[in-house]
Amino acid sequence: MRDFAALYWRLDATTGTNDKLAALRDYFTTAPADDAACALHLLSGGKQSRAVSTTLLREWAAEAAGIPLWLLEECYAQVGDLAETLALVLPPPEVGGDDATEVGLADWIHTTIEPLRTADEAGKRRIVHDAWRRLAAGERIVWHKLLTGGCRVGVSRTLVARALAEVAGIDPAVMTHRLMGGGIESADDYRQLFDPEPTSADDRKPYPFFLAAPLDDRPEALGPTTAWQAEWKWDGARAQIVRRGGVASIWTRGEELVNESFPEIVVAAEALPDGTVLDGELLAVRSSALLGFAALSKRISRRRVTKKMLTEVPCVFVAYDLLEERGEDLRSLPLADRRRRLEALLPAEFPTADTSLQLSPRVVADTWADLAAARATARARGVEGLMLKRLASAYGTGRTRGDWWKWKIEPLEIDAVLLYAQAGHGRRAGLHSDYTLGVWHDGRLVTIAKAYSGLTDAEIVEVDRIVRATTLEKHGPVRICSPTLVFQLAFEGVSRSTRHKSGVAVRFPRIVRWRRDKQPADAGTLADLVALIDAAATPEPVG
Amino acid sequence: MTDLLELTSEGLYCRQGDFHVDPWRRVPRAVITHAHADHARPGCDRYLCAARGKLVLRERIGGASPIDTLRWGESLTINGVRVSLHSAGHVLGAAQVRLEHAGQVWVVSGDYKTQADPTCDPFESVAADVFITESTFGLPIYRWAEPEVVAAAINAWWRENQAAGRTSVILAYALGKAQRIAAMVDASIGPIVAHGAVMKMVRAYRDSGVRLPPIDGVPPRARRVGDGRALVIAPPSVAGSRWLRLFGEASVAPASGWMTVRGIRRRRGCERGFVVSDHADFPGLLAAIEATRARRVLVTHGASESLARLLRERGIDAAPLATRFTGELPPDGPADEEEADGSDEVHAVAEEAS
């Protein structure tokens, strides 16, 4: 536990990539395999189900600190991190009591976290108090993070893979592939990562996804259109279908296996020849019309999909790349070659009712002006814009600029008024940086969106001060402010929703700029938003 | 019984004695707890402060207005109100103001700390009927480590930086914190260098009889200072300024009670930060309040609402008091624009940077 906590704080104390890499290398070089497997799971953002409710942790910590619960909540609002708040209010640990902190991470999880899941309340309380007594202050924070189900620290998966590859002396690309989809749970799984030869565990795993960068420049700067392949940028969920060893697996970009959510696609994928990997998008489609991301997320979030759901929200997979054919890794071939093979494998072009496994069509145009005209139809089609992929490009890893561009349509915008503010977390701890915004309806302001980002650090500090000065009421961490601030809000779409009082919800809301030049009276109206829904109510069939 | 102090647009006013305590506007007669800018403003006709703090106050307010002084515990009667000053332990000469009139005692704490500090006199507990306390760090997350522990951490960081050829830069308020840091570190490790705003106060401290290790100023028009061995002490406003480039590669660490909170450290973009404060921590505040045995407590700047509520739950008549004192501000608070510890620093930095 001590070593892992030390790694956590070493990673926390530096912003430099090389320093982080060295810290990871040092840890994995010396950590026993069972501890390293746990650490890897945690560092890759692996979740643990919550072992004890935060309500109980708060109550026990307040009691141990001799303070009322409301005061602990005030502390939380200032600190912005529950694990840290608990550690800061608790009385100092008993030092030199025993050597608990030298217990390895795996053992520590085994003895202080797993038993918590099954213990009754008195038992939980005993385990938690015992751990508090034994752990040093810095270790308590890390342990609290393990308890409450998240231990995010600023390292990317790529960096973890690089460190492990260096320790193992193997190619980072191979290590990245081995780490895809998680599943490193035991010391044996961990040791297999170090195998210089391909292993059976590699079988079901997806390839690392190649990501596109946003196109900021004029598309003409990309040269002649003949060097590029254009496709629609789908408003769905990026996924790979891996058909190997008699099994079909659907992996999302978040490296989650979602077979159970898409049974109809699994059936279609099982008909693919063995040794096939497709890259594409999961989409909700009914009668050739796209149902949008909100409909799709209903399917993704279900573990068990009902018949009703299957008819109401039918889903398809549109493939736009072929990464593996008959067991051969095609990623280094030019896109033009991969596309030819893909078209031969999947002739059914979207939209078709014949199969749930379809080919993502190319958008063919001779000039950039024609492509721009096609892009202008994107919103009416229910897509986000165009993808531009260089025909000569290999399938890379991560987000390498130059070969894949997303050329999205301009967002929708409305001026909205700040109504509520809440203190943020992490580096925004104690600053009111989470805003609920509203627009006018019948002479009143109604809420339409929560936005967390878009202002500069200096602006956030300034808004925080105004929020404090204009607070009308406090409800726990939320402050209701008198309306004085107007922000230009960008969003990707708008739909009916019961979540906000206005009855509408906007998608991906973010603040573009602070309209210091505008008064609340100048902000937009609900009618403006409703008009946008109506405009998008009948999407044309795509294709 | 009538209150001995009331809040007016000028600040805390004693009607019976016709004087103000730490006024934020020009008034005929100002009793000053300490020389930080949110408590001591220039332009009053006449000042009263602790004898130990006279030179520091003069350095801060300038001008020629007379400054009367009292030794610790010595009293002066102003229009029938007996006024005495008692050490607050905050910075050199920082005082609590005790007022006695018609059998009633009020004590204004100013800013205070209960931890030991070699550069100023220790906090003195004074019995009061009504105690006006600060609450900058009035939440239970704020609990300071012993000064020796923090000093050892700073020394270790300084040595580590030296080994890597990096200058160590500590950001600390020019009055009080900067001198305390200089006195707490191990000066045998290397040279100590201070920003001009800090040096002014170093001179005022030395002239007041405080012993400090050797500290060098930065020569005017210097292009490069030191060889990565020095510990530089500078006000927080130099963060990100051109002035810092004088030292080449540097590790910059703020010294502040706010460094307790990881989110604030990260927001500041600093890899290191040291928890050093000239204010009382949460246990210190509670102990100090209890020791006054006050029947009524008024809580100013900081976590005033929470602390007042906690005290009420413990049976003390307590309420927040809305003053314009700011105490130690969070590193990204308004302090960056208007230094709570002296707005002249910003100009000093600008001059030295250009």
**What is the arithmetic mean of pLDDT over A130-144?**
87
Tell me, yes or no, if A233 is annotated catalytic.
yes
CA–CA gap between residue B240 and residue B242 (Å, rounded): 7
Alpha-helical segments (H) within A332-486 = 335-345, 368-376, 378-381, 457-469
Share of chain A above pLDDT 90, in %: 42
Q: Which of A74, A427, A429 sits opposite B306 (nearest CB)?
A: A74
Residue type, A516: R
Q: Is the pTM of this model over 0.80?
A: no
Cβ B312 vs Cβ B318: under 8 Å: yes
Please tell me the distance from the alpha carbon of residue A520 to that of residue A516, in angstroms, as a whole number.
10
User: Looking up tokens 């191990």, which residue turns up?
Assistant: B186
Q: How many beta-carbon pairs under 8 angstroms link A with B?
A: 69
CA B198, B201, B207, B210 torsion-angle sign: negative
Beta carbons of B336 and B173 less than 8 angstroms apart: no
Structure tokens at A299: 């399917």
The packing angle between helices B147-163 and B177-184, to 10°, is 80
Question: Quick one: pLDDT at residue A95?
Answer: 61
User: What is residue B19's predicted lDDT score, i.e. its pLDDT?
Assistant: 97
Q: Residue A100 has what pLDDT?
A: 60
* Separation of alpha carbons A344 and A336, rounded Å: 13
pLDDT, position A101: 65
Given a cut of 60, whether residue A79 has pLDDT beyond it is yes
Question: Which H or E element spans position A472?
Answer: strand A471-475
Q: Mean pLDDT of all residues in chain A?
A: 87
At residue B99, the pLDDT reads: 97
pLDDT at A96: 55
Number of neighbours of residue A364 by Cβ within 10 angstroms: 11
Cα separation, A36 vs A141, whole angstroms: 19
The pLDDT value recorded for residue A478 is 83
Residue A370 scores a pLDDT above 90: yes
Contacts with A42 (C-beta within 8 Å, 6 or more apart), sequence order: A4, A146, A151
Residues 6+ apart with CB under 8 A from B40: B22, B30, B32, B34, B57, B60, B61
- Chain B residues whose CB is inside 8 A of the A461 CB are 332-333
Task: Provide the pLDDT for residue A300.
Answer: 84
pLDDT for the residue B327: 65
CA distances from B16 to A150, B85, B101, B295 (A): 60, 18, 8, 21
For residue A99, the model assigns a pLDDT of 62
List chain B residues with CB under 8 Å of A61. Answer: none
At A456-501, the pLDDT tens digits run 888 998 999 899 888 888 777 788 999 999 999 998 878 777 777 7
Among A413, A407, A405, A415, smallest CA distance to A493 is for A413
> How far does Cα B214 stand from its chain's mean position?
22
Separation between Cα atoms, residue A190 and residue A42, nearest integer Å: 13
Which whole number is the average pLDDT over A350-379?
A: 92
Closest-CA distance of chain A to residue B101, Å? 36
Please pick, among A233, A307, A406, A474, the residue that the annotation labels catalytic: A233
Task: Show the low-confidence residues of chain B (pLDDT under 70).
Answer: 269, 326-354
A156 to chain B nearest CA, in Å? Answer: 18
The rounded percent of chain A whose pLDDT value lies above 70 is 94
What local confidence, expressed as pLDDT, does residue B134 receive? 94
Buried b / exposed e across A13-31, counting CB within 10 Å, b at 16+? eeeeeeebbebbebbbeeb
Mark out chain B residues that contact chain A at CB-CB < 8 A: 139-141, 143, 260-264, 266-267, 269, 271-272, 303, 306, 309-310, 313, 330, 332-334
For A53-57, A493-497, A517-521, which range has the lowest pLDDT when averaged over its residues? A493-497
